[in-house]
């Protein structure tokens, strides 16, 4: 019963995504439209129900006064809970661990120091100086707008999602791939831009996981 109610709630959100997009505030880029394709609601439903997954890949962040890159050894998502293991130059040399959910984050630095906060974005920015919207990225990486805040969706001439504009970020879907049978194509590379800040994620492997952590 819980599962049915939860899926019904997710579906209600999913079907409202296209309708809730904010009015464009600037001319649309050439070749793009804000009119969703006929099968958009079905795609949203499938991606919204894709809530237990794990991916590996690479991450690069550039901002005016700093930049860095990392290997995403593991990003494991279990509904709203996430567990990221990063290594290399991100947050300094060594292994960095982010574990949390919307509204709460535990951040373990390469030196073993652990920090906790009810404001994940503020904690990451305080620890690194970087803007890294981890809560929203869990949606954007699937090709969905985050539930909070207005958004604008832009589609290319083939009906593929080309960009999400939300929270001051322009999230561009540069590549997609059939990672998992039975699901729509998933992003293989996204670029999130906000002023002079850029986050780029490349996904090399993506798999569905069980419903247990």
Q: Each residue of 2-36: pLDDT tens digit?
A: 333 344 434 444 444 444 554 455 677 788 999 99
- pLDDT value of residue 178: 94
User: Percentage of the chain surpassing pLDDT 70?
Assistant: 84
3-state class (DSSP) for residue 8: helix
Q: CA 139, CA 192: separation in Å to the nearest integer?
A: 13
**Any idea what the CATH number is for the domain that residue 142 is in?**
2.50.20.10
Q: Is residue 115 part of a domain?
A: no
Q: Is residue 15 part of a domain?
A: yes
Q: Each residue of 89-106: pLDDT tens digit?
A: 555 557 889 999 999 999
What value does the mean pLDDT of the chain take? 84
Q: Is residue 116 part of a domain?
A: no
- pLDDT value of residue 213: 44
- pLDDT value of residue 93: 55
Q: Is residue 98 part of a domain?
A: no
Structural domains of the chain, count: 1
Residues of the chain with pLDDT under 50: 1-19, 22-23, 212-213
Maximum C-alpha span of the chain: 51
3-state class (DSSP) for residue 208: strand
- pLDDT value of residue 9: 35
Supply the pTM of this predicted model: 0.83
Q: Is residue 102 part of a domain?
A: no
Domain that holds residue 136: 2-93+131-208
Asked if residue 140 lies in contact with residue 155, where contact means CB atoms within 8 angstroms, the answer is: no
Instruction: Give me the half-sphere count of Cα atoms (radius 13 Å) on the Cβ side of residue 125.
Output: 9
- pLDDT value of residue 89: 56
Q: Is residue 31 part of a domain?
A: yes
């Amino acid at each position: 019963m819980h599962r049915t109610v939860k899926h019904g709630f997710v579906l209600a959100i999913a079907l409202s995504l296209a309708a809730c997009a904010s009015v464009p505030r600037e001319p649309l880029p050439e070749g793009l439209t804000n009119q969703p394709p006929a099968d958009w609601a079905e795609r949203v439903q499938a991606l919204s129900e894709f809530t237990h997954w794990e991916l590996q890949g690479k991450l690069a962040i550039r901002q005016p006064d700093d930049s860095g890159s990392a290997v995403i050894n593991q990003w494991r998502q279990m509904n709203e809970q996430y567990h990221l293991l990063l290594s290399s130059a991100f947050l300094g040399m060594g292994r960095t661990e982010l574990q949390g959910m919307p509204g709460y984050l535990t951040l373990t630095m390469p030196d073993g120091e652990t920090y906790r906060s009810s404001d994940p974005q503020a904690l990451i920015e305080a620890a690194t100086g970087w803007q890294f919207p981890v809560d929203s990225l869990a949606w954007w990486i699937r090709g969905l707008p985050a539930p909070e805040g207005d958004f604008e969706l832009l589609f290319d001439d083939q009906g593929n999602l080309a960009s999400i504009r939300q929270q001051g970020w322009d999230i561009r879907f540069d590549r997609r791939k059939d990672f998992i049978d039975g699901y729509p194509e998933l992003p293989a590379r996204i670029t999130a831009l906000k002023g002079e800040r850029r986050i780029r994620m490349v996904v090399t492997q993506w798999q569905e996981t069980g419903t247990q952590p």
